[in-house]
Amino acid sequence: MANHKSALKRDRQSKVRRMRNRVNKSKMKGAVSKVEEALVAGSEEQAQEALQKAVAVIQKTASKGSIHKKTASRKVSRLNRRVNRMEPLA
């Protein structure tokens, strides 16, 4: 455990940031899984709707710094491709 005042503060800040990042990433994963569920069900309408929501959540997660912007872009691109082809994960 840290002994210096600045190190104690840094530890507190790290814990808060970690929790914030976990919440953001969990929301993102949930949105992506909703798209996956729609793909498995074979519902194109639901998949498009879930995709729109997922893209917004992914971009918001990237803007908050929880994931890198290029990671977000890659995830959106792959989701779009899968929805357009209507192919669930194997």
**58 occurs within a structural domain:** yes
Helices 5-41 and 69-85, axial angle in degrees (round to 10): 10
Contact 52, 35 (CB under 8 A): no
Tell me the pTM: 0.86
**30 occurs within a structural domain:** yes
**CATH number where 44 lies:** 1.20.58.110
**42 occurs within a structural domain:** yes
Q: What is the tens place of the pLDDT at every residue in 35-62?
A: 999 999 988 999 999 999 999 999 999 9
* Total count of domains within the chain: 1
Backbone φ and ψ for 36, nearest 5 degrees, come out as -60, -45
Mean pLDDT of 74-87: 93
**78 occurs within a structural domain:** yes
**33 occurs within a structural domain:** yes
Name the residue among 62, 82, 83, 81 with its Cα closest to residue 72: 62
